[in-house]
């Protein structure tokens, strides 16, 4: 497999990143330019509203509408965060457990299809061993043909009580050793392994869609 980083099926390592990605949202960083009588200031939306009212630029009706829009944005952000936080793993007979943090709205993948997915991989103790987000490039691979570990094939395609992922979806997978790297582990050199033998793995997978 010629993917950069941690090749999930071929035990290949390059440019391995061990730091967790930092997620930000546009809602938390958006600033809007406003002109006053003397200079240009960049203010967050709440302060912009107050400044416009002070300068008489914004009418009462506009102010009410602006506040209403800000309230909707904040509410949507809070609901999305709460939905992801409440995700609980569901175990299947194979030992694979899953949890849908975001249900996709696109099409599901078919066996043998070339797809793209972002991921964050952790050991059961929480230690991050790889992240495509840190590299800024999703993993491209053929699903269901053994290019990745069995837990990924089943976790994305579905089966054994697991629904297939839809493009745009985000799912957490808890993968037992027999569906991961088993007794061999992975990335082993000089008596130590990045993924020790018999490791339970946790993956946050974002199915982007077909490549």
Query: Domain residue spans in the chain?
Result: 26-85, 90-210
Look at residue 61 in the predicted model and tell me its pLDDT: 52
Q: Give the model's pLDDT for residue 10.
A: 46
How confident is the model over 73-82, as pLDDT tens digits? 344 334 444 4
Is 6 one of the catalytic residues? no
Top pLDDT among 173 and 73 is at 173
* pLDDT (0 to 100) of residue 100: 97
Confidence check: pLDDT of 156 > 80 = yes
Determine whether 13 is an active site residue: no
Q: Which residue has the tokens 């991050």?
A: 128
From the candidates 6, 98, 100, 119, which is the catalytic residue? Answer: 119
98 in active site: no
Query: Phi and psi dihedrals of 109, rounded to 5?
Result: -80, 155
Q: Is 207 a catalytic residue?
A: no
User: What's the pLDDT at 50?
Assistant: 53
The active-site residue, picked from 130, 162, 195, 207, is 130
156 is catalytic: no
Catalytic residue among 156, 181, 207, 208: 181
* Contact between residue 111 and residue 157 where contact means Cβ atoms under 8 Å apart: yes
CB 200 within 8 A of CB 158: no
For the domain made up of 90-210, the CATH class stated in words is alpha beta
Structure confidence at residue 87 (pLDDT): 85
H or E segment and range at residue 189: strand 186-189
């Amino acid at each position: 497999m010629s993917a950069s980083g941690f090749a999930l099926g071929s035990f290949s390592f390059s440019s391995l990143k061990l730091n967790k990605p930092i997620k930000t949202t546009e809602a938390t960083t958006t600033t809007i330019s406003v002109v006053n009588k003397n200079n240009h200031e960049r203010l967050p939306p709440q302060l912009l509203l107050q400044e416009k009212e002070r300068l008489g630029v914004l009418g009462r009706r506009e102010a009410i509408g602006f506040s209403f829009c800000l309230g909707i944005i904040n509410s949507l952000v809070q609901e999305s965060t709460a939905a992801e936080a409440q995700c609980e793993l569901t175990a299947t007979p194979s030992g694979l457990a899953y949890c849908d943090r975001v249900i996709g709205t696109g099409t599901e993948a078919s066996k043998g299809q070339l797809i793209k997915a972002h991921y964050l991989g952790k050991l059961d103790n929480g230690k991050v061993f790889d992240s495509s987000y840190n590299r800024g490039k999703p993993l491209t691979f053929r699903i269901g043909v053994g290019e990745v570990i069995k837990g990924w094939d089943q976790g994305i395609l579905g089966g054994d009580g697991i629904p297939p992922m839809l493009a745009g979806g985000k799912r957490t997978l808890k993968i037992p050793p027999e569906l991961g790297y088993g007794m061999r582990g992975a990335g082993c050199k000089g008596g130590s392994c990045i993924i020790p033998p018999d490791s339970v793995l946790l993956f946050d997978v974002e199915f982007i869609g077909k490549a």
